């Protein structure tokens, strides 16, 4: 990154953005820059550099979508984050769509406190507002109320329960000692 005898470190912004994109916090980036390159950068400077991405992110989040998707997959990823010194659960709502040409695209990612049909209803309304008029098939988990949320926004959409979630839910009732043998039956 910094060559021998180099005094200009103008490419440091790209490196900071890269580290931020990989999940490093401003303090981690600050420590890394100091330990590896001897560069003093305040967390405020790092935040100012990463904040330059916000307009690009907002543009991506609000881009117009296609009118029709053959399949859309809805799912949430649950993870723990530290907020003000406490560890809390968060859910990243993911929407992946397959268009009429078979091209897969991430339509959006939203962060919520926990997965709920009410939040999914807001996500589906946002998809409609961004131009989606019809979805042929929607693949979802077995979340209570999700079918009603989908029907409210896209009443003609066929709902398919995700096979992975169905298998996971069915193995919940199998004794652990029998799980391996039961799973072989499913294949």
Query: Is-contact 97 107, C-beta < 8 A?
Result: yes
pLDDT of residue 22: 85
Q: What secondary structure does DSSP assign to 23-62, as a single string?
A: T--HHHHHHHIIIII-----HHHHHHHHGGGHHHHHHHHT
The string of pLDDT tens digits covering residues 62-111 is: 999 999 999 999 999 988 887 788 888 888 999 999 999 999 999 999 99
pTM of this structure: 0.74
| Phi-psi sector, 126: left (phi>0), alpha (psi -120 to 50), beta | alpha
110: β partners: 93
pLDDT of residue 2: 52
pLDDT of residue 148: 95
pLDDT of residue 149: 95
Mean pLDDT, 10 residues at a time, the chain of 187 residues = 56 84 87 85 88 90 96 92 84 95 96 88 96 96 91 96 79 87 79
Hey, what domains does the chain have and what are their CATH numbers?
A: 12-59 (no CATH), 63-162 (3.30.420.10)
pLDDT of residue 165: 76
Query: Is-contact 161 137, C-beta < 8 A?
Result: no
């Amino acid at each position: 990154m910094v060559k021998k005898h180099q005094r200009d470190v103008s490419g440091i912004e790209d490196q900071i953005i890269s580290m931020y994109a990989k999940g490093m916090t401003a303090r981690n980036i600050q420590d890394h820059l100091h330990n590896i390159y001897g560069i003093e950068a305040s967390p405020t400077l790092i935040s100012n550099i990463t904040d330059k991405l916000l307009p690009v992110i907002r543009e991506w989040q609000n881009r117009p979508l296609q009118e029709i998707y053959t399949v859309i997959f809805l799912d949430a990823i649950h993870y723990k984050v530290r907020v003000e010194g406490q560890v809390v659960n968060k859910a990243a709502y993911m929407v992946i769509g397959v268009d009429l040409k078979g091209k897969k695209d991430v339509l959006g990612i939203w962060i919520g406190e926990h997965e709920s049909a009410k939040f999914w209803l807001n996500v589906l309304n946002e998809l409609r507002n961004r131009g989606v008029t019809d979805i042929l098939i929607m693949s979802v988990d077995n979340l209570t109320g999700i079918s009603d949320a989908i029907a409210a926004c896209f009443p003609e959409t066929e709902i398919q329960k995700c096979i992975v979630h169905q298998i996971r839910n069915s193995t919940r009732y199998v004794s652990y000692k029998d799980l391996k043998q039961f799973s072989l039956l499913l294949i």
